[in-house]
């Protein structure tokens, strides 16, 4: 039975907070109102309640991150950083400069850029001054930057968080706050050369991250518009019909057709004509076939799109990636600003692998948006742009799952040397010693205790994966030496105090 009402989390907490206070737990979930006036609860989450200052009679609150957001633990940050390093390396390999823009923009900058999705934009509260919204992607801020600074040509990358008020289905790796890595080429150039480079970059990133086999679906907005026009779809319905077509990767054609006819009022024969086109996908031969299509070849827009795709495939072949690309007539892409070629990379399900339960959807996407900069420019001068965005969260979900399955232990620190002592009252010596190591650029730690046990110190090294231990005691101090111990082999060597840094650096470079 579907829920009739979803009780607001905060209301929920205040309703049931008192009841559950003794345990410190409160349950979050859906309230179902049944037809007989009964009510049932479906608990989806149990969280801890805290009181800010008990004596002040503050209202209870739940300690959590906002809905659809999360903290990244040190383990997760290691995986995340590896992905970002890989992606940024690739962007730099293709000559891109880095840009940064604020987390929020003037609200007006984002208006009318995202079509139906505009309702998902986070607005800031009007606290006096300008009306602001959190950025929804990195593309619109980039176009705003180009127009504002009158930049006519730029190859840039940007890595940052964006925010969308979507219903979070967290199992699929969809969040309300997520990280995007964008690469874009702005400028007037000969056709399809930058576009081909964008697809090459997507291939390099996805291959580099070893995510398994993938496919990049390619289409062109002008071909899609041409199809709708030659199928006699009224102009006013283009948008609605496009969004139905875009669902073809998730639901079968008969359901899409039903939606078009029953919900969107399309004549059945028009829907069937569309179906003949949008169910097709293939390689460059399909482009040639479409050129020969008696109806489509009458449409100027579609012909332009097909001509560009033909050229694109030529370049993709030279790049050695044509077999990764599928011309897919159902690809529509939601965002309003695309004007030409569009693309989306999907991972191919390999049932043998553990991540089959993870339906991650597209992991990278992009396209050409030749009109967006002109919208911001006072005189309407535009700068043609093409770009791509890597969906870090989804890639992260796959790699994290894979690591869990493999049971890999991740080191979250890079400490190279631990400073230990077997003796009491040796804090001063340890502090002097570790200070020397830090000043020499060596990554070093000690325990923040006056008199730690040696065993505790050695256990810490094993637990944290620290490879070397420097041990100083009464005897060593007298002889002017230091013991250097390898944690893995448990071998110890005595070295002269003055050679300590050099010996450690030698050991570290050997391993």
Nearest distance from C-beta of residue 111 to its own copies, angstroms: 7
Nearest distance from C-beta of residue 414 to its own copies, angstroms: 5
User: Could you tell me if residue 307 is left (phi over 0), alpha (psi between -120 and 50 degrees) or otherwise beta?
Assistant: alpha
Q: Write the CA distances from 259 to 119, 221, 265, 336, 361, integer angstroms.
A: 22, 21, 9, 21, 22
Nearest distance from C-beta of residue 350 to its own copies, angstroms: 24
Output 120 or 215, the one with its CB closest to its own copies.
120
Q: How far is CA 395 from the centre of its chain?
A: 7
Rg, Å, the chain Cα set:
29
Residue 139 annotated as binding site: yes
Nearest distance from C-beta of residue 388 to its own copies, angstroms: 15
Residue 338 annotated as binding site: yes
Output 261 or 311, the one with its CB closest to its own copies.
311
The pair of structure tokens assigned to 8 is: 């607001």
Output 414 or 510, the one with its CB closest to its own copies.
414
Nearest distance from C-beta of residue 324 to its own copies, angstroms: 13
* Nearest partner of 485 among 428, 417, 431, 437, judged by Cα: 417
Residue 164 annotated as binding site: yes
- Look at strands 97-98 and 154-163 and give their pairing: parallel
Contact 299, 290 (CB under 8 A): no
Output 205 or 256, the one with its CB closest to its own copies.
205
Residue 156 annotated as binding site: no
Residue 337 annotated as binding site: yes
Residue 184 annotated as binding site: yes
Give the span between the Cα atoms of 68 and 177, in whole angstroms.
7
Give the span between the Cα atoms of 333 and 368, in whole angstroms.
11
Nearest distance from C-beta of residue 153 to its own copies, angstroms: 10
Give the span between the Cα atoms of 142 and 378, in whole angstroms.
16
Look-up of token digits 């934009």: 121
Output 161 or 257, the one with its CB closest to its own copies.
161
Output 179 or 230, the one with its CB closest to its own copies.
179
Q: Which helix (H) or strand (E) holds 483?
A: strand 481-486
Residue 51 annotated as binding site: no
Binding-site members for L-histidine are 137-139, 164, 180, 184, 333, 337-338
């Amino acid at each position: 039975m579907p829920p009739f009402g979803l009780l607001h989390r905060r209301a929920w907490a205040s309703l049931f907070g008192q009841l559950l206070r003794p345990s410190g737990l409160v349950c979050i979930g859906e309230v179902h109102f049944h037809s007989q006036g009964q009510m049932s609860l479906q608990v989806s989450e149990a969280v801890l309640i805290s009181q800010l200052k008990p004596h002040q009679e503050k209202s209870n609150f739940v300690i959590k991150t906002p809905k659809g957001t999360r903290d990244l633990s040190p383990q997760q940050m290691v995986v995340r950083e590896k992905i970002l390093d890989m992606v940024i390396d690739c962007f730099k390999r293709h000559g891109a400069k880095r840009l940064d823009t604020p987390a929020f923009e003037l609200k007006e900058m984002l208006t009318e850029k995202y079509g139906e999705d505009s309702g998902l934009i986070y607005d800031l509260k009007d606290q006096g001054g300008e009306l602001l919204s959190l950025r929804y992607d990195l593309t619109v801020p980039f176009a705003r930057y180009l127009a504002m600074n009158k930049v006519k040509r730029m190859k840039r990358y940007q890595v940052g968080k964006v925010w969308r008020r979507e219903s979070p289905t967290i199992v699929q790796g969809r969040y309300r706050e997520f990280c995007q890595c964008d690469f874009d080429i702005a400028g007037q150039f000969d056709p399809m050369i930058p576009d081909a480079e964008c697809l090459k970059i997507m291939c390099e990133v996805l291959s580099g991250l070893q995510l398994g086999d993938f496919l990049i679906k390619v289409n062109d907005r002008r071909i899609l518009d041409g199809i709708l026009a030659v199928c006699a779809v009224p102009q006013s319905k283009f948008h609605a019909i496009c969004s139905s077509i875009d669902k073809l990767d998730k639901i079968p054609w008969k359901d899409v057709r039903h939606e078009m006819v029953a919900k969107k009022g399309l004549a059945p024969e028009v829907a069937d004509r569309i179906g003949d086109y949008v169910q097709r996908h293939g390689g460059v031969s399909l482009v040639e076939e479409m050129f020969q299509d008696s109806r489509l070849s009458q449409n100027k827009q579609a012909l332009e799109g097909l001509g560009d795709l033909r050229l694109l495939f030529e370049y993709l072949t030279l790049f050695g990636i044509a077999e990764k690309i599928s011309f897919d007539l159902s690809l529509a892409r939601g965002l309003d600003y695309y004007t030409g070629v569009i693309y989306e990379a999907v991972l191919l399900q390999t049932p043998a692998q553990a991540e089959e339960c993870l339906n991650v959807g597209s992991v990278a996407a992009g396209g050409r948006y030749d009109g967006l900069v002109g919208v911001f420019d006072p005189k309407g001068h535009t700068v043609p742009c093409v770009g791509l965005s890597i969906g870090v969260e989804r890639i992260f979900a796959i790699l994290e799952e894979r690591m869990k399955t493999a049971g890999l232990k991740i080191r979250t620190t890079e400490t190279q040397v631990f400073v230990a002592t077997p003796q009491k009252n040796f804090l001063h010596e340890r502090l002097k010693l570790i200070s020397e190591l830090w000043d020499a650029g060596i990554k070093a730690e000690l325990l923040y205790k006056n008199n730690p046990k040696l065993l505790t110190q050695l256990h810490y090294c094993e637990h944290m994966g620290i490879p070397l231990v420097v041990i100083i005691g009464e005897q060593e101090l007298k002889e002017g030496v230091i013991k250097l111990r390898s944690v893995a082999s448990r071998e110890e060597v005595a070295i002269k105090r003055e050679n300590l840094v050099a010996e450690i650096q030698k050991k570290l470079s050997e391993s």
